[in-house]
Amino acid sequence: MPEGATRDGAAPLPGPGHLLLYSRHFTAFFLGCAACLLLREQFHLSAVISSAAVGLAGTFIPFPASHKPHSLQAIIYAGSFAGMCSPHLLAGTHLILFASACGALSYLFLQPRFAGFGGKLGASAFVVSLLLLLVSLVLP
């Protein structure tokens, strides 16, 4: 078996040494989520228009090639998907940070499992939205 491979053929999850990778993903997800929410709240745009604008703007950010630019641009777009959920669920910076942490983790978890398939971005946003809903039901 090749080094780092698992029995089921899935790529291994990043270990503790991948803190820099996670921090990049967290930052990208946070930017997408916060920007989408900002466009919705400050400029009164619809959730769809806000997410599309953030996704489009994210494609123009020049990331270095060593940072896997297409992946970071996709994570910005996934963050904008999460930013489309109800403003009541994202009421506060702490909830946006929580959403970004969960979104970055879910993307890192789903990325090797959905290799070659679509759905990573939407699944990450769904996980975040579901967790925010659960948090809002538990904490008043």
Per domain, the residue ranges of the chain are 21-138
Distance, CA of 93 to CA of 99 (rounded, Å): 10
Q: Does the pLDDT of residue 33 top 90, yes or no?
A: yes
Residue 73's closest CA among 35, 18, 109?
Answer: 35
Query: What is the pLDDT, as a whole number, of residue 27?
Result: 95
Cα→Cα distances 15→4, 18, 22, 40, Å: 11, 6, 10, 36
Query: What is the pLDDT, as a whole number, of residue 1?
Result: 40
Report DSSP state, residue 12. P
| Cβ atoms within 10 Å of 68's Cβ, excluding its own | 15
Q: Does the pLDDT of residue 114 top 80, yes or no?
A: no
